[in-house]
Structure 1
Amino acid sequence: MNEALRRALLLGAVISLSATGAAWSSGGGGGGGGEMPSASAPAYDPAAEYVKAIQALNDKKYKDAERALTHVVNALPKNAEAWRLLGTANAGQNDMKGARRAYEKAVKLEPDNIEAHRGLGMALGGLKDAKAQSELEWLKARAQACGTCADAPSIAAAVKAVETAIAGSATAASGSLLFAGPAAGDRAYVAAVSLINEHRYDEALTSLAAAREALGPHPDILTYQGYIWRKKGQFDRAETYYRQALAIAPEHRGATEYYGELKVERGDLAGARVMLARLDRICAYGCAEAEELRRWVDAGHEPST
């Protein structure tokens, strides 16, 4: 087991992601990044705003949810989960045009997200837009490819929901509006870390998605989503998650290390050295993340273990 994955397992065992106000794990205590906080941090805490939105959705206070989720997407415009839930909040207010725009963003950011396609299909159906049929066909193709896979029930429910919307009798909001709480998010996160250590990346992504839905855009979750997509060879997608994590927590050591490793894999050694210099500044007395990235930079590729 390499050092990065060993640390991932330890991290999952000890951190409570739902602890409001705690320093980001693997990210130091905040501050000292070389910029004023107003220049380096979002105007709103995206994770805190996300928690507000989840509570508002559960209470069917869709306008409050829309307001909080707008803060999230303004801070993190590439966070697909927030865009999807913004679509839910808009649909709950019968604002199908707003729902369509939000779901389109979610689908663009995560083209394989079943719930995003479900929401978009329902919004298009509510608007009597012929493009709803394309979403229905996508879901049916996914159902055929899935067969009896773990996603089969959710795909079947999505197909039925979009068919109902096209027929003109859909309810306003798509999907379940009873969202899991922080304890469930923590459990899903710890399960994901175990799956990562077993190289069961697709299952780990499912667990991380569940953690993200419960806890919002927490930098630890985003970092491991980036890690998995990197391991799956989708570097551009991996980078979006690392950048989101660092937008929330600019001194997050794990995200900085992994982003530097990604740059090495892309042959961008100059960019990797920038990440290493940032770690050396964050870790004034040294840290495992800086030493691991230094090994990558010195080797010019993934070092042997």
Structure 2
Amino acid sequence: MGRQWREALVLGALLSLGAAGAAWSSGGGGGGGGDMPSMSAPSYDPAAEYVKAIQALNDKKYKDAERALTHVVDAAPKNAEAWRLLGVANAGQNDLKGARRAYEKAAKLEPDSIEAHRGLGAALGGLKDPKAQGELDWLKARAAACGTCGEAQALEAAVKAVESAMAGSAVAASGSLLFAGPAAGDRAYVAAVSLINEHRYDEALASLAAAREALGPHPDILTYQGYTWRKKGQFDRAETYYRQALAIAPRHRGATEYYGELKVERGDLAGARVMLARLDRICAYGCAEAEELRRWVDAGREP
């Protein structure tokens, strides 16, 4: 029985129950028994701290947001959303140097992020740093290439924000007046799994990005981001998400299984066996994830 078929059954059961509090039998991609991502984090988890930060930002409690987001980036240093929102929190306190550092990290991790370049350009403009012009040029070039694409409005607002900061106006904390909370993240997550099951991978990635923006570095979301990039044939990118998920939740069954499958696809059977041995330790009495990966390892190729 294929992994995707089982996931489709899980999704169907969730939706047929009306969903909000229904059990997700193995977490995102076999995570181990949460409900929705916003409800299944451990007692101290970067995703939980991220949700606290979102609420603090919505309440304009920028110091509280900074504190929570510092916990997030300490635990998940490759989470671009957390660094970007840390920039928002710093800018909200008029700490433009701190904002610049945070936005630089966000832009490095996600070079195509409009909001990261907007925030960085505005912080640099507020500091009278000539590098602000480079960010403004990047945004203008992106806007010219975009034309009337779906990003046109965000790019226009970003260009105006950086120009205003360079002209000496106060630096806005963010382009958004309200940050999405856990319920929106859960909805985006459910939509993403449905899209994955329909092989609509680009749309799934957009939904997963929305879920991660609302919920932060939750291992279930990261696992599915890795899975989706893997299905698009971008193995290196997929691996970064699996590694992030396992750094946060080393016993995450779904990330362990999928990372093992990726290793099989790359011809790294020794590495896949390491992942299988880890699953055998996690699942003392056996689990579907271990059996699925064992099938891959035995076959030595994608079924």
User: TM-score under structure 1 normalisation?
Assistant: 0.85
Mark the CA change 1:137 to 1:126 in structure 2 (over 3 Å): closer, same or farther: same
Q: Which residue of 1 aligns with 2:38?
A: none
Deviates more, 1:225-234 or 1:50-59: 225-234
Per-residue deviation at 1:74?
0.5
Mark the CA change 1:262 to 1:10 in structure 2 (over 3 Å): closer, same or farther: same
Are the counterparts in 1 of residues 91 and 171 from structure 2 also a CA contact under 8 Å?
no
Distance in 1, matches of 2:213 and 2:247, equals 19
Q: Which residue of 1 aligns with 2:3?
A: 4
Per-residue deviation at 1:180?
1.5
Per-residue deviation at 1:55?
0.9
Q: Which segments of 5 or more consecutive residues in structure 2 lack a partner in the other structure?
A: 35-40
Are the counterparts in 1 of residues 230 and 262 from structure 2 also a CA contact under 8 Å?
yes
Distance in 2, matches of 1:285 and 1:43, equals 25
Mark the CA change 1:6 to 1:177 in structure 2 (over 3 Å): closer, same or farther: farther
Offset from partner CA, 1:178-209 (integer Å, 9 cap, x none)? 11122211111111112222332222222111
User: TM-score under structure 2 normalisation?
Assistant: 0.86
Deviates more, 1:78-87 or 1:294-303: 294-303
Mark the CA change 1:231 to 1:136 in structure 2 (over 3 Å): closer, same or farther: farther
Distance in 1, matches of 2:136 and 2:121, equals 7
Are the counterparts in 1 of residues 31 and 220 from structure 2 also a CA contact under 8 Å?
no
Distance in 2, matches of 1:134 and 1:223, equals 34
What is the aligned-residue RMSD (CA, Å)? 2.7
Identical amino acids, percent of aligned pairs = 84
Q: Which residue of 2 aligns with 1:250?
A: 250
Mark the CA change 1:79 to 1:17 in structure 2 (over 3 Å): closer, same or farther: farther
Q: Secondary structure at the match of 1:162?
A: helix
Mark the CA change 1:185 to 1:267 in structure 2 (over 3 Å): closer, same or farther: same
Are the counterparts in 2 of residues 42 and 75 from structure 1 also a CA contact under 8 Å?
no
Distance in 2, matches of 1:302 and 1:251, equals 24
Q: Which segments of 5 or more consecutive residues in structure 1 lack a partner in the other structure?
A: 31-40
Which residue identity does 2:4 align to in structure 1?
A: L
Per-residue deviation at 1:225?
1.1
Q: Which residue of 1 aligns with 2:188?
A: 188
Which residue identity does 1:210 align to in structure 2?
A: A
Offset from partner CA, 1:253-297 (integer Å, 9 cap, x none)? 111111112222333221111111111222233333222222322
Q: Which residue of 2 aligns with 1:294?
A: 294
Deviates more, 1:213-222 or 1:56-65: 213-222
Distance in 2, matches of 1:8 and 1:146, equals 36
Per-residue deviation at 1:18?
8.8
Q: Which residue of 1 aligns with 2:266?
A: 266
1:2-81 alignment runs, 5 A limit: 3-12=2-11, 14=14, 24=27, 26-28=30-32, 44-81=44-81
1:1-305 alignment runs, 5 A limit: 3-12=2-11, 14=14, 24=27, 26-28=30-32, 44-303=44-303
Per-residue deviation at 1:68?
0.5
Q: Which residue of 2 aligns with 1:37?
A: none
Higher relative contact order (CA 8 A, sep 6+): 1
Offset from partner CA, 1:72-100 (integer Å, 9 cap, x none)? 11011111111111111111111111111
Distance in 1, matches of 2:11 and 2:212, equals 14
Offset from partner CA, 1:129-187 (integer Å, 9 cap, x none)? 22222222222222233333322222222222222222222433122141112221111
Are the counterparts in 1 of residues 91 and 173 from structure 2 also a CA contact under 8 Å?
yes
